[in-house]
A and B are shown apart, each in its own frame.
Chain A
């Protein structure tokens, strides 16, 4: 019964999303408010129907109805409730359903907030959103059906891949999908702006919040994924330049460029085509990321089996790209810039550089990701690029970005402004940090000195900007320093929230640099009582205990961590044999401090069970990567927070005033 209701709900969702699109377009063409109201309601109905389908799948998962293929493939009787729910997005069908549900939800949120800028655009935006929803509904009805039945009921399911049994599984995929789905809204409004020709800065201003939400969700999703990889995969790193990781990074890079260049369109009327291009390509890259993850187009640890679904995705991306390019071509007259970049050393100039860096890196990563597929198409053999390619490309770009982050906020619009009087402070701090580390700290690595110098420069710039802002408030508005600092956030959330985000990025850079340049790693086979020393730590393998469970065979090692003679901690890495996949999966033990992470993973147990191979890593400054992520979220929330609504005085006719 559940499967019938679920399939029918999906089919109805397809019908209603198509109706949303058609009614939206017709309402705009013929200026009919009844059709628009109907299209709005149709979007709500689509959300309700997709919710019914999703709920049906969740009920089936919890009922452990093993006659349903999806349930059989992703759930087993021993799976805890939380992961049973998370199994909803463990497979291709469920993931697409989640995508569609999030998109339907965000569509309803978007049409709820009616404001002046969206009045003209809404019918067309609704049309575009309806088409995107219809695409995903079509996939779920035709190619990737979640409610397929097996000929007979299986006794037990295959269960979740043990690598997925991590809290990361609960947060990471929905967050990422939320980011992907949220980029559909700016995309829809961009298309609407193109169709209506209302290409001023109102719509760009209007979708700012959506850009911000989508960008943050995507960024947090990526960071959560990195964290998951770090604690679960057991190879000691957090980012492997795996195709699927890259696929999620590419739209994030273009979106980062977008967040900056949008500001220029708002203030100076420049980069209009470029912004449209960034919005549209960010959305299409999000769809492309879903495609890479879900099609097996490129080999990856994340990918599911090869299926024909890829052609649908390619057709979808291709059609939208052609439509968007055609519309931009038609509207090119209205998209002329209102002004020119006058100096390179100005806000606009550095934003342009920033955009070149981000989109350039996005393009390089995209090419690197597609390289195996491209070489296969051209020469018949797959040639994969290893991490060193990506490291070599992204390293310089990251450093250049840090440099811009340090200089750009100090620049004025149109001209360099008071750069000469302000820059010496961050520049001096950066130089001093590098010198101090080099001379006193004994650091000899030139690249590391440069990187840390830039990090110090960028961090100081943020501090200087806060100090300047507070100072200006003190002088102009006559506020006391701490009130002024508080008011900076109150009066200009957008700018100073943005600076907090910059601070988060600097902290993330600190973590990446520390871990990337100074990690030390030892792989060693130990017997009970043996000691391995790494950095200032001695790690002693003390005991190994094993037990048989229902789902897995657990092996837990007890490791004593010593500094000198003092025992400061004990770590318990695990190495478990999971019956459902017939594989060993390692559970990592990490001791985090502000200075470094001690990371111990088991890599193998000898046949007699006496000798154990360990991978021991020291990841300096690792924790700052996650701290930076938290700071980034705080900054975004500040920037996102709506301005306090000022009292609106409206003249009320005298007759009505007395009546009420």
Chain B
């Protein structure tokens, strides 16, 4: 009986403690909590400028410039925000780069074509996916123009 209870107890405790290790790491992001402090002067947080004035009248407050609040300092929070913004930007840049690689570039001058362009805006060279007969845009890999029915040069390759 007591062996059973002890085994159950052990199993329950091990399961409870081991659970996070099984589920895996980093499920919950660490959130920055910034405690709101209206004024922090010489290490003391005041609810308002008025409270500081009361303490100054009592000769109990330092005169000084507002400093960091308890918890992460403003600089720390700033740095964290900067870091995250930078991360988001880097990701965007990467995506944009990927998108640009897919987008067709002018074979003559290298300027990327915008959607729907038939000729390059810079040098006037035709878009590689344009029908040489009627000027209709077609998808890469098509063998014949969907408008005039002529054979396409890209299709033969």
Interface residues of A (CB under 8 A from B): 1, 4-5, 8-9, 12, 16, 19, 32-35, 37-38, 41-42, 44-45, 48-49, 52, 115-117, 119, 201-202, 205-206, 266-269, 412-414, 417-418, 468-469, 472-473, 475-477, 491-492, 495, 643, 646, 648
Contact = CB atoms under 8 A, between A and B. Distances in A.
A412 B60 contact: yes
Contacts of B157: none
Interface stretch (B50-58, B108-116, B125-133, B145-153): B50-58
Contacts of A52: 9
B2 A477 contact: no
B99 interface: no
Interface in B1-45: 1-3, 5-6, 9-10, 13, 16-21, 23-28, 30, 32-36, 38, 42-44
Interface of B: 1-3, 5-6, 9-10, 13, 16-21, 23-28, 30, 32-36, 38, 42-44, 47, 50-51, 53-55, 57-62, 70-72
Given A115-B71, A417-B59, A472-B58, A48 B13 contact: yes
Contacts of A648: 36
A10 B141 CA distance: 74
Contacts of B55: 472, 492
Given A45-B16, A475-B57, A476-B57, A266 B43 contact: yes
Given A33-B28, A34-B21, A5 B2 contact: yes
Nearest to A9: B9
B32 A116 contact: yes
28 contacts: A8-B6, A8-B9, A9-B6, A12-B9, A12-B10, A16-B13, A33-B26, A34-B25, A34-B26, A34-B27, A35-B21, A41-B16, A115-B71, A116-B34, A116-B71, A202-B71, A205-B70, A267-B42, A267-B44, A413-B60, A413-B62, A472-B55, A477-B50, A477-B54, A491-B51, A492-B51, A495-B60, A646-B47
A477 B27 CA distance: 49
Contact of A12 (B13, B36, B72): B13
B19 A41 contact: yes
A576 B41 CA distance: 64
A269 B13 CA distance: 44
B54 A37 contact: no
Contacts of B9: 5, 8-9, 12, 49, 52
Contact of A116 (B5, B33, B61): B33
Nearest to A490: B47
A475 B21 CA distance: 60
B27 to A, nearest CB: 8
Nearest to B24: A34
Contacts of B42: 267-268
B20 to A, nearest CB: 4
B13 A1 contact: no
Contacts of A34: 20-21, 23-27
Contacts of A413: 60-62
B59 A201 contact: no
A461 B9 CA distance: 58
B70 A37 contact: no
A119 B30 contact: yes
Contact of B54 (A117, A267, A473): A473
B75 to A, nearest CB: 13
Contacts of A206: 70
Contacts of A45: 13, 16-17
Contacts of A5: 2, 5-6, 9
A508 B28 CA distance: 51
A105 to B, nearest CB: 17
Nearest to A20: B17
A472 B17 contact: no
Contacts of A32: 25
Given A116-B34, A413-B62, A418-B59, A41 B2 contact: no
B70 A117 contact: yes
A19 B17 contact: yes
B112 to A, nearest CB: 30
A33 B25 contact: yes
Given A412-B60, A646-B38, 4 more contacts: A45-B17, A116-B35, A201-B43, A646-B36
A60 B47 CA distance: 54
Contacts of B19: 38, 41
A360 to B, nearest CB: 27
A648 B31 CA distance: 15
B6 A4 contact: yes
Nearest to A206: B70
A491 B9 CA distance: 49
The 8 tightest CB contacts between A and B, nearest first, are: A116-B71, A37-B20, A4-B2, A34-B25, A472-B57, A417-B59, A8-B6, A412-B59
Residue with the greatest number of chain A CB neighbours at <10 A, chosen from B5, B17, B51, B70? B17
A116 B59 contact: no
A267 B57 contact: no
Contacts of A266: 43-44
B131 to A, nearest CB: 42
A412 B42 CA distance: 14
A268 B67 CA distance: 12
Contacts of B17: 16, 19, 38, 41-42, 45
B99 to A, nearest CB: 22
Contacts of B3: 4
A12 to B, nearest CB: 6
Nearest to B42: A267
Contacts of A49: 9, 13
B54 A472 contact: yes
A117 B71 contact: yes
Contacts of A38: 17-21
A37 B38 CA distance: 34
B33 to A, nearest CB: 5
Residue with the greatest number of chain A CB neighbours at <10 A, chosen from B9, B19, B60? B60
A115 B28 CA distance: 16
Contacts of B35: 115-116
A475 B54 CA distance: 8
Contacts of B26: 33-34
A37 B50 CA distance: 43
A268 B25 CA distance: 40
